[in-house]
Structure 1
Amino acid sequence: MNIKHKEIIIEPQNPFANCKLDRKKYSEVLTGIIEAYSEGFVLAINNKWGTGKTTFIRMWEQDLKNNGFQTVYFNAWENDFENNPLVALMGELKALTNKPTDPAFQKILKKVSILSKHVIPIVAQSVVDKYIDTKGIKDAFVEASKGVADLFENDVNEYSNKKKSIQEFRTELSHYIANTTNGKPLIFIIDELDRCRPNYSVSILEQIKHFFSIPDIVFILSIDKEQLGNAVRGVYGSDRIDSNEYLKRFIDIEYSIPEPEKDVFYKYLYSYFNFDDFLENDSRKRHSELAYDKRSFLQFSTILFANDSVTLRQQEKIFAHSRLAMRAFGENMYLIPEVFLFLVYIKVLSEDYYYNIKSKTLSISELQEKFYAIIKNKLDEDTERSLTWLEAYLVLFYSNLIKPSSRMNNIYKYDSQVGKNTLLIESIINKNDPEKFLDIFENIERARNGGSLDLSHFINRIDLTESIIN
């Protein structure tokens, strides 16, 4: 059984063969844009962290290669140890060289060498050191002024040389690309740009604009625009900077990979982590109250992952941990899938809430309020019943945790005057229909299907403090 999700294998001849999210069609759209505007531009693929951008990019890159494009893949995060991005970018281009094109590349390196030099300081330390102890203040200022004038003249000359060198570099690079890529643009992919040191990220953007804005190069930036915007504001030291407008200076086209169909990814994860080995085990299914746990698990997964607030990476982490924790449940033990899965969900995505439950620091009403804050965007006519059942289970099992001897006594009581039970706790989901909430608790009590459990039954296994037994 897999304990974590392995990297998806990208088959050279059919790179999207193992894509479970049906994303090949988006690569075809993007390739069409490149073919239509081959003179060169910057395309940003903007999606949140954990949405599968890198996997998509690598699959698309292989597909581009299969269609005759030359590509360069540069993981900016893995290479931000290099202080000068220009060195790293040129190092990646070097991979395209062969014996016939190497002389041309060496020519480019000579042109670019002056661009990577540091600018001479306006006031050199040597000027200060030369006069600080050997001449009077007046003479020092006179001589230092001469030195500053000389240095300023040098700076002006160096500026002129650099400006000329940039143009010569672009010209040589353009010729080199045109003679290397068989009439198609070079695809230069920069991944994980938003994860770099902020100054490194911004420096890459600046150098792409100033040095590499030539025909026949298409830059693909894989980014989370919000995070990259934070980097921009960090570099310039102000929250007032409009990072969106700033990034528009560098990005010609922005594209976001559409979200997959809501049921696709979690069903794939369910199969990948072999949940059936436990939930569909014959010994387990012999118990009528456990026989439908698979159905409940999948139905509740639909509710939890039905919107884009949970990334693919987070879903993967939730399912991986769920499968591991499930191994600490015996074949005849209650799982209560909606409770179990929700607790893993908040352990991954709302750790403070999970810790507060575990440490028993919440009142019942606080438990309900925090629960509602998490599920309110998942609540509609179709999900109301399932989420009300989950609320009831959480209230009951938490009540059993903080007051073990009370059980249902904290939830409802028998009213002899009206001859029926009355609630002591109001539902946060169904405030206008308390009878529905009461019915759930009475059903749990009549069926005796785990009503005496408390949340430690789940938490101890989710926290891996119980031994694996299956």
Structure 2
Amino acid sequence: MKIKHHEIEVVTDAPFTNCKLNREPYAKVLTEIVNSYADGFVLAINNEWGTGKTTFVKMWRQQLNNEGFQTIYFNAWENDFNDNPLVALMSELKPLTKGIINGEKVFKSVVEKGAVLTKNVAPAIARSLIKKYIVDAIENTTKAAAEILEEEIKEYSDKKKTITEFRTELEKFVKKKGGNKPLIFIIDELDRCRPNYAVEVLEQLKHFFSVNGIVFVLSIDKKHLASSVRGFYGSEKINTEEYLRRFIDLEYSIPRPSNKLFLKYLFDYYELDKFFYSKERIQYGELQSDATDLLDVAELLFNKTNPTLRQQEKIFGQTRLILNSFKPNQYTFSHLLFVLIYIKTLQIELYQKIENNALTIQELSDSFVSVMPLEIKNDYGRNLLYVVALLLHFYNNNQEHQNRIQLLESGTDGNIATPIKIKLADNDSKKLAGLFKEIKQRSNYTDGSLKYLICRINLTESVIIN
């Protein structure tokens, strides 16, 4: 049984074989782009955290390798322990010496120029302190000040010359290795790095590595990278969009996959069918719709609230574990169970209030609708309204007897009504009342309490691993 989603295997000969999100067409588009503009540029693949960027770029990288491109994959987050990104980036280039005539010698020339640069990229604060100390010591000596200025001018000229020489040697090296195809240098997880490291990587890409023949691919969540930029400069007012535009030539976002497609994948991956369709369970007719009920409500929730793929994985992993606390002949109320696991994962404060009986029935109804807007236009919407009714019914049963309310009342016209007001159209309270009546008529639901599900979600019930 799986409760955690493991890294997807990238098959060498067919990299997208295990991709369940149909993303291979996007890789082909990107390959056409990098092949058409080989002069060197920076491409940003910009998607939120948890949307599968890392898996995508690893599959795309293998596809590029299969088509004769030279590629490098650099996980910036795993390397930000090193204060100087230039060293780490250069280290990634070294393996390319294989297959180049006199490759070590050619690379050595690049390293020699880079070695001079590493001396010139000392922290600006340290340099300014040193200069201030010297200037303070000789502030009254005009001649010495002029000599310092002259030395700084020379240092500046030398640095510009060294950068030019470094780029020239780097371009020669890349040309020898890649031929007519550009080197694809993928940088992943830059948005997770320490702010100073993330900014220094960007600055060094622009100043040192911007040469013909290298296409840099930044796999990022631009909003989080923007936060790193603001953190580095210590200002919330900096125009991060304009700042990042200096480094990024082209931005691409991987389209979001169909929720239905991904849900089916997660259902299969976490083997929920082994529970719902076990030999012991399928003999009970009342339980045979549980799997469908769960998938229906999951699709509705995810379509409405757009959790990341990683969040969806986590919810399904938790669901699989929690299902093992039920015996084959027990009700799971799978749609309500899934909704509560969803709330606990993404709305923990609301879940804690539900757990602690800290809301009135009306407050719970209002909170639910504010988190997951209801649209009673189709079967999915009506299914979710049924889940709301079941939640309110079980929650009401959770209360001390004196605190319970009558969920059904007789209306002035003789029809049933409910005091609970749903924040939708006027007739939705009538629909809710009808659902309360339906639940009340099911004897096995009448005394059901939310504790029955909460204790399982909190893993205070025995879990049988199978």
Question: Under TM normalisation by the shorter chain, which class is it?
Answer: over 0.9
Indicate the SS of the match to 2:45: strand
Equivalent residue runs for 1:444-459 within 5 Å: 444-459=439-454
Contact 2:270 2:320 in 1 (8 A): yes
| 1:358-403 CA-partner distances (Å, limit 9, x unpaired) | 1111122221121111111x63512331121111111111111123
Does residue 208 of structure 2 align to residue 211 of structure 1?
yes
Indicate the SS of the match to 2:303: coil
| 1:116-141 CA-partner distances (Å, limit 9, x unpaired) | 12274465587589x7xxxxxxxx65
Does residue 431 of structure 2 align to residue 443 of structure 1?
no
Structure 1 residues 189 and 272: alpha-carbon distance in aligned structure 2, compared to 1, 3 A threshold: same
Matched with 2:406 is: 410
Equivalent of 1:312, from 290, 309, 313? Answer: 309
Structure 1 residues 283 and 125: alpha-carbon distance in aligned structure 2, compared to 1, 3 A threshold: same
**Which amino acid is 2:359 matched to?**
L
Aligned residues: 457
Equivalent of 1:142, from 129, 140, 164? Answer: 140
Identical columns (%): 46
**Which amino acid is 2:454 matched to?**
I
Equivalent residue runs for 1:89-168 within 5 Å: 89-98=89-98, 100-117=102-119, 118=122, 120-121=127-128, 123-124=130-131, 127=134, 141-142=139-140, 147-168=144-165
Structure 1 residues 141 and 65: alpha-carbon distance in aligned structure 2, compared to 1, 3 A threshold: closer
Structure 1 residues 325 and 147: alpha-carbon distance in aligned structure 2, compared to 1, 3 A threshold: farther
**Which amino acid is 1:142 matched to?**
N
Equivalent residue runs for 1:380-395 within 5 Å: 381-382=377-378, 383-395=380-392
Structure 1 residues 104 and 421: alpha-carbon distance in aligned structure 2, compared to 1, 3 A threshold: same
Matched with 1:361 is: 358
Matched with 1:136 is: none
Matched with 2:219 is: 222
Matched residues in 1 for 2:268 and 2:55: separation? 20
Contact 1:123 1:148 in 2 (8 A): no
Matched with 1:379 is: 375
| 1:271-305 CA-partner distances (Å, limit 9, x unpaired) | 11111111112332333322211111111121122
Contact 1:45 1:257 in 2 (8 A): yes
Matched with 2:76 is: 76
The runs of at least 4 aligned residues of structure 1 exceeding 6 Å deviation read: none
Matched residues in 2 for 1:215 and 1:451: separation? 73
Matched residues in 2 for 1:199 and 1:161: separation? 25
Matched with 2:422 is: 427
Deviation at 1:324, TM superposition (A): 0.1
The worse-fitting range, judged by mean Cα deviation, of 265-274 and 98-107 is 98-107
| 1:292-337 CA-partner distances (Å, limit 9, x unpaired) | 1111111112112225721111110000000001100111221111
Structure 1 residues 430 and 282: alpha-carbon distance in aligned structure 2, compared to 1, 3 A threshold: farther
Indicate the SS of the match to 1:215: coil
The worse-fitting range, judged by mean Cα deviation, of 217-226 and 89-98 is 89-98
| 1:426-457 CA-partner distances (Å, limit 9, x unpaired) | 23345434321111011111122423222211
**Which amino acid is 2:153 matched to?**
V
Matched residues in 2 for 1:437 and 1:302: separation? 22
Contact 2:304 2:372 in 1 (8 A): no
Matched with 1:189 is: 186
Contact 2:276 2:290 in 1 (8 A): yes
Matched residues in 2 for 1:379 and 1:91: separation? 55
What is the TM-score of this pair, normalised by structure 1?
A: 0.92
Deviation at 1:238, TM superposition (A): 2.0
**Which amino acid is 1:175 matched to?**
K
Matched with 2:277 is: 280
Matched residues in 1 for 2:247 and 2:339: separation? 42
Matched with 1:64 is: 64
**Which amino acid is 1:101 matched to?**
G
Matched with 1:134 is: none
**Which amino acid is 1:52 matched to?**
G
**Which amino acid is 2:47 matched to?**
N
Deviation at 1:3, TM superposition (A): 2.2
Matched residues in 1 for 2:414 and 2:284: separation? 34
Matched residues in 1 for 2:420 and 2:86: separation? 64
Matched residues in 2 for 1:245 and 1:438: separation? 54
Structure 1 residues 123 and 317: alpha-carbon distance in aligned structure 2, compared to 1, 3 A threshold: closer
Equivalent of 1:462, from 431, 441, 457? Answer: 457
CA RMSD of aligned residues (A): 2.1
Matched residues in 1 for 2:62 and 2:415: separation? 68
Contact 2:394 2:448 in 1 (8 A): yes
Matched residues in 1 for 2:184 and 2:333: separation? 51
Q: For structure 2, which runs of at least 5 residues remain unmatched after alignment?
A: none
